[in-house]
Each structure stands twice: as structure tokens, then as C-alpha cells.
Amino acid sequence: MKDLLKQVTCLPKLWKVNKNDFTIWIFAAIACIFIDIPYGLALGVLVSLLSVVNQSQRGWVSILGKSDSEDLYMDSELYGSIHELPRIKIVRMEASLYFATAEQFRKNIYKIIEQDTDNYDDDTEEDPESEQTNIALTVMNADDKEEEVKIDGETQKLKNGNADHGDDDALADESDQFSTKILIIDCIPFNFMDGTGLDMLKLVIFELKCVNIEVYLARCSKYMLRMLEVSDAYDGLPREHVFIDLPDAVEQARKMVEGKRYRPHHVHHIVEMHDEKRKMSLRQTDTEYDMFIHRKSIFNPLA
């Protein structure tokens, strides 16, 4: 018990380093003093498990930007001289994608896109007087008669019922209201992904595609590539949107935004080609080793 009390002097340092460890120590120490040592240790283990579960559910998603001096992509909030790319959003979740972080991942992605859209609208806000300007158009109605239609503010529907396309206009307006056109997900922290995480990823890709936002996956692990291959993920995600490196995904996204022609890309072709070269190298090494052993063998009369 004396040794336990002596550790109190380490609490200020423990609080600065890790507050979760500080909380676990406090619970375990109080239980050991007022109840019993076995119960205190059991309570400490229980609080540790709860702390691990709580931390694993925090899927913190950061926005990456390009460094001004180097070809690096880092968190734009933590580092200076970082600028974000126009109409391209690069995000990374500092956790694995599974059942505990899947919903948080989806919410953070949508929050980032909405915030970027709000900032874009503020920058491109027009003069209030121009928003109230009425525009008169002359159109032909169903009876081949000229009809004057006024567009006031956000009202863009024709009053003629035969020419009303409200649903199509609403869908077009919803798809054009987002400034982000391509979302790049840096998958390098995804050390583990279960079925729930995969379903959530497919849902995010589908919902963003409905509003004309393409999703790219960059730096996927071999485990994640295998899951994408054996599942039906490629039914909604083109294989050309999976990249082996982040700069390649950014370069492809820039060409898409600028409307330029891009080079066909498939990450699995690169992996297969790399594996084939590796197999050929291993076969060549084995052949050279066998020849060396044959020349130096004591059973070889020519040696």
C-alpha cells in the first residue's frame, strides 16, 4: 500500500501524457484503498477495456492539403503552408473502418462536404440587388402560342403544367450545390475493415454519386483490395478509381476537374505486374543458387 501511495507523485505527469491512463489509475487506486486489492485490479481492467472501446469509436477525419514546398499531403489544420485543392477534397480517418467507426466516418464525411459548400457559397455570393432582378423570357407553350415567363430569384419553374419539370430541376440543383466534385479517401490507416465498414463505404460512394461527387480510394492495403475484389464493391465503384498512391489519385482528379483526358488506370494490374516480376526474380535467384550448389558440391567429380 505504501508503494501505491508513493506513485501519487507521478499523477501530474500522467495527466499531461495520457488522461485515460490517469483515470484508470484513480479508479483502481480508490478501489484498492477502500475495498480490496483484487477488486481494485478488476475494476482497473474493466475501466481499461471501456477506455479502449471509447477511443476506438472516435473516427477522427482530417482534411489533407498539399504542401507549398514539397509534394506532400498533410493535415491542413496542424501544419502551415498547406493549401487545399479546388473542387477536390482529400480526407483521412485516423482509425480502422469497422462497425464501431462506420457511422462516425459517414457523418464526418458529409459534414466536411457541407462545410466546404458553405464556404464556397460565401465566397461566390452575388450582389443582393442582382438577386432580385426579374428576367423575362419568351417561350412557346403547348398551343404554339408565345408566353412570357418571369424568373424571380430562385423560382425557375414554368407555370404551364405541360412544361413543368420540377423534379428534374430539383435533382439538378441538388447535384450542383456542392463545390466538391471529387472526394479522395486516404485508406492507409485502414488496417482493419469488417463487413459493416465495407457496407458503409459502399453507401457513402453511392450517396455521393447521386449528387455528382466521385469517390477515389488511395493507398489501399492488400487486405482491403482483397475485400473489394471478393465483394460487390466494384458494382458501384469503378476500378479506375482505386489508386496505389495518393499523388496519382490527386493527379487523376485534377485532370477530371479540368476536363482533360486521363490515362486508363487499374491498381490491380500494377499489383499483378509487380507480383509477376517478383516471381521471375525469385525463380532466377533459385536457379543461380542451384547452379552454385552444383558447382561446389563435393559429389560433383568436376568440382
* β-pair partners for 146: 140
- Read off the amino acid at residue 173: D
The confidence score (pLDDT) of residue 79 equals 76
Query: Are residues 100 and 46 part of one domain?
Result: no
Q: How high is the pLDDT of residue 183? A: 92
73 and 187: one domain? yes
Q: What is the pLDDT of residue 283?
A: 60
Residues 221, 235: one domain?
yes
Residues 65 and 103 in one domain: yes
Closest CA to 134 of 160, 164, 157, 154: 154
Contact partners, residue 48, CB within 8 Å, separation at least 6? 24
Total number of domains constituting the chain: 4
Same-domain status, 231 and 138 = no
DSSP 102-146: HHHHHHHHHHHHHHHHHHHHHHT---HHHHT-EEEEEEE-TTS-E
- 115 plus 52 within the same structural domain: no
Quick one: which of 175, 162, 180 has its CA closest to 111?
Answer: 180
Structural domain boundaries, residue 146: 131-175
Is there a single domain that holds both residue 229 and residue 148?
Answer: no
* Residue 184 and residue 78 in one domain: yes
Q: Of 12, 34, 56, which residue sits at a domain end?
A: 56
**Whole-prediction pTM value?**
0.63
Q: pLDDT tens, position by position, for the chain (303 residues)?
A: 677 677 778 888 888 888 888 888 889 888 888 888 888 889 989 999 988 888 777 778 888 888 877 778 888 777 777 788 888 999 999 888 888 888 889 999 998 888 876 555 555 454 444 344 343 444 444 444 444 444 344 434 434 444 444 454 544 455 455 678 899 999 998 888 888 999 999 999 999 999 889 999 999 988 889 888 888 888 888 888 999 888 888 888 888 888 766 665 555 444 454 455 555 655 665 565 556 545 544 444 444
Cα(3)–Cα(33) distance, integer angstroms: 12
C-alpha span between 95 and 197 (Å, rounded)? 12
Task: Tell me the CATH number at 236.
Answer: 3.30.750.24
Q: Which three cell numbers stand for residue 87?
A: 473542387
166 lies in the same domain as 186:
no
Q: Is the separation of the CB atoms in 172 and 207 below 8 Å?
A: no
Q: In this structure, are 106 and 191 located in the same domain?
A: yes
Whether 103 and 214 share a structural domain: yes
